[in-house]
Structure 1
Amino acid sequence: MSKYDRIQDQREGLPTFEYKKDLVDAIREYSILVIIGETGSGKTTQIPQYILEEMPEFEKIGVTQPRRIAAITVAKRVSEEQDVRLGSTIGYTIRFDDRTCNATRLKYMTDGILLREATLDPSLKQYSVVVIDEAHERTLETDVLFGLLKETHRLRPDLKILIMSATLDVAKFSDFFDECPIFEIPGRTYPVQVVYPVDAPRLSTLKSAFVDRAVETAWSIHTNEPEGDILVFLTGQNDIERACKAFEEKSRKANYKREVKFHQDVHNAVVYPLHASLETFDQRAVFELPRRGDRKIVFATNVAQTSVTIPGIRYVVDSGFVKEKSFDANTGMDALLVTEISQAAAIQRAGRAGRTAPGKAFRLYNEESFNHMSPNTIPEIQRSSLLSTVLSLKKLNIVDVLNFAFIDPPEESMVRNALKQLYLLEAIDEEGKLTKLGDQMSYFPLSPSLARVLIASAEEYYCSYEVVTIVSILAGDLDLFKTPRAKDGEEEANKAESCKLKLAHHTGDHMTFLNVWKEWKRHDKSKQWCKENYINAKVLEIASNVRNQLMDVMEKLKLKIVRGPILKRKMKSSTGKVRHRRVGENDHGESTDPVPVLESFLTGYFTNIANKGAHRSVFSHYAPEEHLSSDSSTNISSTALVALHLHPLCSLSNNLDRNNLQYSELDWVLYSNITYTNKAVMKGVSKILWDWVKNGKGQERIKKLPSTRLNGEAQPKIEELDLEAEKKLVEQEEQKKELEKIENEATKKRRAEEIDMIKQRALARRRTGA
């Protein structure tokens, strides 16, 4: 049997195949359809193919995924099933990576990509069918798409919209889309047995020990269960690396031939990590089938929880925790904290065990904890910064963002905070309308702050050639420098620190990134050079692709790409001795002037400023509103009370005097973002001068900041105000007259009663006298 025939047999064995005709008929009949099916039923891979194969009238199908790795792996799988080259009929598009062509009919993409396309074309003319997959994940972009697609459907009733979800509250999706029909695909590919250990604790007491328990449980499965790979859900890179190390040590000490407890078909363990920071090659390795007799053990974040299918998984270990990002509008910080998962997430994780064979899901917590979990994960839109989202809505001419049709509206304070930030960045005006600058910013697949930086570097500071490089590295949101693992020892850590020192620029991270880029290019983009200098080659490779795309956008917007001013150092001393070239310099001793580069970044991040108090090792956020207030003792923001620390990989951390733990030569700094784990940490930090802050446009913008109306609420005119006041006076007069009338009637009644009483008394006296 050929590989293609084997794949077709697998397709026919999926639950969706049994309902293929009914699905096709339902899609033809209804313009909006909610499809529910358990994990492993084949929704993600098969339903788009049914449309492709059975409905040639639909020219292009767009399918969204919540994560980039899911979009790539699913597109690859579907192209294999269709027996076509990836990037031809079947393709994918993720941020800064487009594998499609004019002939592409089925396109997998992240929900963020479709959101950008909807921003530029609200009617989504290029698509006949739009499929929102993994809707239960409730990502920020997905929730916004729901509202936009509802409006798009009014513009284009012929557009087919499919909402696909694994389980649980799909009725909410149906209700949102005017009670559209729900198509249910019963059953999953294979049954999954959920196992609760006898001694399993509650989640609240498990938190400090879940990594060790996960390793022990995985080892127990490895030694006692038949062949089949194991997927272990942990919370982050550090936990995963620690777990991998612990499991590898156990496996190294074990004697697979002599120890009876191992299953006869299991001869070895191959351990893999899976998280977003991995090199692309290492991510791909997870999806390869192991050699016969080897058992694959994968320690992963919840990147493996959705559409990503790792072949051969029969056992899942669920720790019950996830590292979740929550944005605090009051402090402007992202809190990255380990929290309990929801019931929906637990069910989704268990489903990973039933994709290719009957499986088991081992939960490290007890059944009572599961019953007390929140039914659904809190939608990302209610715990994220809405800056990019609000800008996208403004681009769509949605002025009144507060009343936009969100399926679960975010807090009003979050929306107003985003409006305020966009106003400060000059993206919207006092009435909440998109400015010309805001329109330019919306074309960049970046945060509004980084987009503002790029525009400023081209139009004001004339150093866009350098700034676009730094922005490209920052856009990846991954650490450029590698941190050696604990098992590598102190010597390895010292080497990594020395390499960072060698490449660091005295002003901080932004110019250090530029130094690294220049040296990488000087060494012909060598991966070996990256390895020797503890640089994450993946970050630079992604940045190279991002940089090309950003330069294309700048060219379309007619933003000039110009090199910044040069600082020149004499390469010969007064004695005639030739000096060595420094890092970041060319052979003539020329380097980039950091001042215009850092001033460009200050344009987009002038609210992200901190200063270090005298004799202190921590920084404090600078809140311009406080300094502009006549009474500095009032209106102190909560951010100002938080101690800010430099990230361990920050190039300015070299300024730490180890003897008295004070940072030398640091006063004012600019940062890209703050993340809170066990303390508030600044990332993307560079030194700046107070004069740049004091004389910057941002301060003037803050002074003009209107207290209300940024959402575009109608401003009442003076005549309207006068009319309103007159109306109120008339109402007051009418009320007064009504009261007087009531009082008069009461008085008349009282007087009548008094007269009646007097008459009665008079009659009584006459009778007595008689």
Structure 2
Amino acid sequence: MSTENRKHKRNIKSREIHQEDLQSTEITEIKRSHKEMETQNRTVSEYEWEKQEKTVENKEKEKEKERKMRDQFVERLNERDEQNTKKYGEGELREKRGTIKKENNEQKSGIERLTTENFEEQKKMIQNQLEELKKESRYKYLSKRAGEVVDLMKQELLDFEKLYSHLPITEREYKLNQINKNMLEMVEQFGDLQQVDQLSSGYRVPKDYSKESGGIDRQKQWEALTAQLVYDPSEVDENTQQRWENSQISKADLHYGARKRKSDKEKKKGNEIITDEQIEFIKEAIMSGKIDEQEDPIEEKKRKIEEEKLSIQEQRKSLPIFAHRQKILDLLSSNQVIIIVGETGSGKTTQLTQYLHESGYTKNGKKVGCTQPRRVAAMSVAKRVADEMGVTLGKEVGYAIRFEDCTSDKTVVKYMTDGMMLREFLREPDLGSYSCIMIDEAHERTLHTDILFGLVKDLARYRSDLKLIISSATMDAFKFSKYFDDAPIYKIPGRRFPVDIYNTKAPEADYLDAAIVSVLQIHLTQPPGDILVFLTGQAEIEAATEILTQRTHGLGTKIGELIICPIYSALPSNMQVKIFEKTPPGARKVVLATNIAETSLTINGIVYVIDTGFCKQNYYNPRTGMESLIVAPISKASSLQRAGRAGRVAPGKCFRLYTKWSFENELDDETVPEIQRTNLASVVLMLKSLGIDDLVGFDFLDPPPSETLMRSIEQLYALAALNEDGELTKLGRRMAEFPLDPMMSKMIISSEKYKTTSEILTIASMLSVNNSIFYRPKDKEVHADNARKNFFNETGDHLSLLNVYNQWRDSNYSIQWCYENYIQYRSMKRAKDVRDQIENLCERVEIPLVSNPTDYEGILKTITSGFFFNTSNITRSGDYSTLKKKQTVFIHPTSALFNRVPKWVIFFEVVQTTKEYMRQISEIQPQWLIEIAPHFYQLKEISSSVHKMPKQGKGKVNSSEVLKKEEFLI
């Protein structure tokens, strides 16, 4: 037992020792494994760290490479600008001086120069128009002269009978009197013959007066000439010629007793035809005038007549600003920044720069600069100032607009657009060559003007010797003063007469129809004086023009002549000039205008103003990312400006088509600045190109909403215009060169990749005028719609626009082709000019011009590269929803895809009328979004958005019916 026990104990011990060894081995293995894991983890950590370090290093290298490429591009750009910019020296100025007309007409001097290829065509067209005008003018003169001669002959015969009825006369006098009677009878018979020829339908074959033996039977010819003409007037339809002749006869005859009463009744009956629907106005207020104390309205008229005979220098002295010359200069000498408030026509734009020049602000090589919101204004004002100073344009006085620098080393007064002033900051950040900067038309508050405010304010603190003048035509001066550190305000009193303000008794449901009725009502019931009507846009102006023409033409001579003059930005310059022409005696002019006539234009002769109370504005919603063009109420400031247009030449009247309560409670005090209600992507891109990275800290006059600013930065980052650090990329720098929306600029640059540049340039130019290409006459709506459908492309509207332009180009840019296809020629001409300008910019930013007209997929992919934000797809309900923000939108009834149901579409813009309509849309494939914008759209997001097609026929609407509701709203 003892032996077994000992063996058992030995075995137990050995097992224990073995277990201890195993445990020791396991512990050792675990420790070794742990050490290996630690080593491995440390190796992995070091590897990852080294990898991340290399990634960061590579990113920094890429960023540095991108910066270098961007800077090199800017250098090449500046060199190319220096080579391509027109610089007028002594020889060139002499040559240019021979081409500039010496007429003192601001409108003509503002017309853009024609390109070489269009010059001959334009010249021929102008010559034809002049010939037609000469013929028409000659015909009118002869018709008027014929009536005057007949009246004179009648009066002479009447005088002869009265003077010699009881006195003996000689045989010679008797024969002379008989000859005059015979001549008068022949003239009247010939006039009746012409009247019948014009009133009767068909062609009247003249009689044959030839003899059988040959020759002319003079006796028959004389009998036919002297025979009494008999016809039944009831069988002849009345037309314009007969009405005119009856009017002339009625003016020549004396009116007695019953005939005069009958005429008055007919006239009253004619007036009742028009005034059966009158607008009831209530006189609510009188806008006080600002007439000089020593000058009454009669003296004002005399002064106006005398002004036409004055020399240029005497005209300068007659301007309202002349009396305040020294006070303004004294105020500027004691202050760095001053605010000038003067009404349109006070002379501040042309005179202030000359006063500064005459006072020594241009000594020691310094210049005086003046900015204008529009390039035409910069050119025309510079021409006027050069004439007043007696110098050649381009020497002491010059202008600078995009790609044209009409200045020299001697230039001391320089007019430029506000965009060119921004580029002056790029070349000369401290503006060391300028002694004074004048920002004119500051009240317009354009995007460029608001940026200039911040730049010049900061510069003024850096340069104490720099003088600033902020010029405005409105009374919003206190805001400017506060922004520029309480700068003093100087007001230039204008010549303004009292204006009676009338409001409607009740709101008007259709302000366009109410405006037309008011025009006719004023024309019939008010004393002489021209009318100015404020409407919202081109479509309304053209509709009002057509309706007024029909109504006045139908009444003929029952009312006086009403000359209708439209004015809007897209109207050709030669037609815009008509609003400045003097109204003929006995007639009345009505100007149909947008809000451009509030302050930018001075139209003499306006006595009556009709204010509809609305205007068109762009509004951007940062939450939905949608920008809409909507008709919105004007502000109280705009309403007062409109009323003031009626009191420039005489006491006037303003008829507001809204109630007094609406004016006081529904209108904002001031118009919302453009920078606070539009997409700021273009503004951010511009500031970045100027080297301003701290957008939040930029000193805006009215800071834009922070949400809008952030959405704009995100949009530019998605377009690859900015990198992840918010720095401008080379692509962004190229985009900044195009005066277009960043999305359209990206589309043009992307065309280089898909080799569709030529087609994309055409589409981009057509999109710039897309809402004014087609027109629908009321009496030919079906024909116009069918003509429009002939251009439709199955992919959508973008290629349809391309078809329109290409067919017009193939017709050799024919006017007749436009007429036959119900297309507006002036819009197509504008699209061609825009295309030429963008093509020049493509060469400037190094984009080769290639064409691939049959690659529809490549064209649509190029469009998607810029507008992938504007994507929507169809939902189960049959409506369309934007892909990112899920906002419901609709296809516009004029679209080529209106009666189709594409699954995925991309659109150019959204217009809000009765609904939120997508305009200019095309069908796309969803996989293109992943291919083109993988950073913006994910595959999961695209897949989840795929829905079933709606039932057949669901959502189908008659496009003609919808168009009738929409034609005046867009």
Q: Specify the alignment match of 2:775 in structure 1.
A: 483
Q: Specify the alignment match of 1:200 in structure 2.
A: 505
Structure 2 matches for 1:310-321, cutoff 5 A?
310-321=603-614
Structure 2 matches for 1:35-434, cutoff 5 A?
35-51=340-356, 56-57=362-363, 61-66=368-373, 100=406, 102=408, 111-112=418-419, 114-115=421-422, 118=425, 122-124=429-431, 128-154=435-461, 156-185=463-492, 187-197=493-503, 200-201=505-506, 205-206=507-508, 208-254=509-555, 267-372=560-665, 373-434=667-728
Q: Specify the alignment match of 2:965 in structure 1.
A: none
Contact 1:235 1:323 survives alignment (8 Å) = yes
CA offsets 1:417-443 (integer angstroms, 9 cap, x no match): 101100100111122111221122112
Distance in 2 separating the partners of 1:288 and 1:674 = 39
Between stretches 142-151 and 218-227, larger displacement belongs to 218-227
Q: Given residue 320 of structure 2, which amino acid in structure 1 is its aligned partner?
A: P
Distance in 1 separating the partners of 2:887 and 2:573 = 40
Distance 1:675 1:123, change over 3 A: farther
Between stretches 102-111 and 360-369, larger displacement belongs to 102-111
Given the alignment, which residue of 922, 935, 940 partners 1:700?
A: 935
Deviation at 1:703, TM superposition (A): 6.6
Q: Given residue 934 of structure 2, which amino acid in structure 1 is its aligned partner?
A: Q
Q: Specify the alignment match of 2:890 in structure 1.
A: 644
Given the alignment, which residue of 785, 792, 798 partners 1:510?
A: 798
Between stretches 45-54 and 10-19, larger displacement belongs to 45-54
Contact 2:775 2:824 survives alignment (8 Å) = no
Q: Specify the alignment match of 1:741 in structure 2.
A: none
Q: Does 2:850 align with 1:562?
A: yes
Secondary structure class of the residue paired with 2:715: helix
Distance in 2 separating the partners of 1:143 and 1:357 = 36
CA offsets 1:315-339 (integer angstroms, 9 cap, x no match): 2122222222211112222333333
TM-score (norm 2): 0.60
Q: Specify the alignment match of 1:600 in structure 2.
A: 862
CA offsets 1:23-43 (integer angstroms, 9 cap, x no match): 244445543221112344333
Q: Specify the alignment match of 1:12 in structure 2.
A: 317
Given the alignment, which residue of 891, 902, 920 partners 1:684?
A: 920
Contact 2:336 2:467 survives alignment (8 Å) = yes
Between stretches 157-166 and 411-420, larger displacement belongs to 157-166
Distance in 2 separating the partners of 1:504 and 1:53 = 62
Q: Given residue 423 of structure 1, which amino acid in structure 2 is its aligned partner?
A: Y
Distance in 2 separating the partners of 1:687 and 1:249 = 42
Deviation at 1:493, TM superposition (A): 2.3
Deviation at 1:278, TM superposition (A): 3.1
Contact 2:609 2:655 survives alignment (8 Å) = yes
Distance in 1 separating the partners of 2:848 and 2:563 = 51
Q: Specify the alignment match of 1:263 in structure 2.
A: none
Deviation at 1:78, TM superposition (A): 5.9
Q: Specify the alignment match of 2:3 in structure 1.
A: none
Distance in 2 separating the partners of 1:246 and 1:289 = 24
Given the alignment, which residue of 898, 905, 909 partners 1:673?
A: 909
Q: In terms of Rg, which structure is larger?
A: 2
Q: Does 2:883 align with 1:622?
A: yes
Contact 1:39 1:351 survives alignment (8 Å) = no
Secondary structure class of the residue paired with 1:596: helix
Distance 1:221 1:10, change over 3 A: farther
Deviation at 1:410, TM superposition (A): 1.4
Distance in 2 separating the partners of 1:250 and 1:92 = 46
Q: Given residue 838 of structure 2, which amino acid in structure 1 is its aligned partner?
A: L
Deviation at 1:387, TM superposition (A): 0.6
Q: Does 2:728 align with 1:440?
A: no
Given the alignment, which residue of 756, 759, 774 partners 1:466?
A: 759
Deviation at 1:22, TM superposition (A): 2.4
Secondary structure class of the residue paired with 1:344: helix
Distance 1:368 1:481, change over 3 A: closer
Q: Given residue 542 of structure 2, which amino acid in structure 1 is its aligned partner?
A: E
Deviation at 1:614, TM superposition (A): 6.3
Deviation at 1:156, TM superposition (A): 4.7
Distance 1:392 1:364, change over 3 A: same
Distance in 2 separating the partners of 1:274 and 1:357 = 23
Contact 1:609 1:622 survives alignment (8 Å) = yes
Distance in 2 separating the partners of 1:65 and 1:109 = 6
Distance in 2 separating the partners of 1:78 and 1:481 = 38
Distance in 2 separating the partners of 1:352 and 1:225 = 17
Distance in 1 separating the partners of 2:926 and 2:769 = 27
Given the alignment, which residue of 442, 454, 457 partners 2:748?
A: 454
Between stretches 341-350 and 540-549, larger displacement belongs to 540-549
Q: Given residue 867 of structure 2, which amino acid in structure 1 is its aligned partner?
A: Y
Distance 1:10 1:408, change over 3 A: same
Q: Specify the alignment match of 2:328 in structure 1.
A: 23
Contact 1:190 1:359 survives alignment (8 Å) = no
Higher helix residue share? 2
Deviation at 1:193, TM superposition (A): 1.2
Secondary structure class of the residue paired with 2:458: helix
Distance in 2 separating the partners of 1:387 and 1:90 = 36
Secondary structure class of the residue paired with 1:276: coil
Given the alignment, which residue of 536, 541, 549 partners 2:829?
A: 541
Q: Specify the alignment match of 1:520 in structure 2.
A: 808
Secondary structure class of the residue paired with 1:286: helix
Unaligned runs of 5+ in 2: 1-305, 940-970
Deviation at 1:550, TM superposition (A): 2.8
Q: Given residue 545 of structure 1, which amino acid in structure 2 is its aligned partner?
A: D
Question: What is the percentage of aligned positions where both structures have the same residue?
Answer: 39
Distance 1:515 1:241, change over 3 A: closer
Q: Given residue 505 of structure 1, which amino acid in structure 2 is its aligned partner?
A: N
Deviation at 1:104, TM superposition (A): 7.2
Deviation at 1:680, TM superposition (A): 1.4
Unaligned runs of 5+ in 1: 260-266, 565-590, 624-636, 657-662, 705-770
CA offsets 1:716-737 (integer angstroms, 9 cap, x no match): xxxxxxxxxxxxxxxxxxxxxx
Distance 1:692 1:472, change over 3 A: same
Contact 2:737 2:841 survives alignment (8 Å) = yes
When the two chains are superposed, the root-mean-square deviation of aligned CA atoms in Å is 3.3
Distance 1:62 1:450, change over 3 A: farther
Between stretches 323-332 and 43-52, larger displacement belongs to 43-52
Q: Specify the alignment match of 1:34 in structure 2.
A: 339
Deviation at 1:366, TM superposition (A): 4.2
Distance 1:611 1:547, change over 3 A: same
Distance in 2 separating the partners of 1:529 and 1:107 = 44
CA offsets 1:338-394 (integer angstroms, 9 cap, x no match): 332222111211222233444333333344443333221122211111010011111
Distance in 1 separating the partners of 2:798 and 2:421 = 31
Distance in 1 separating the partners of 2:719 and 2:701 = 28
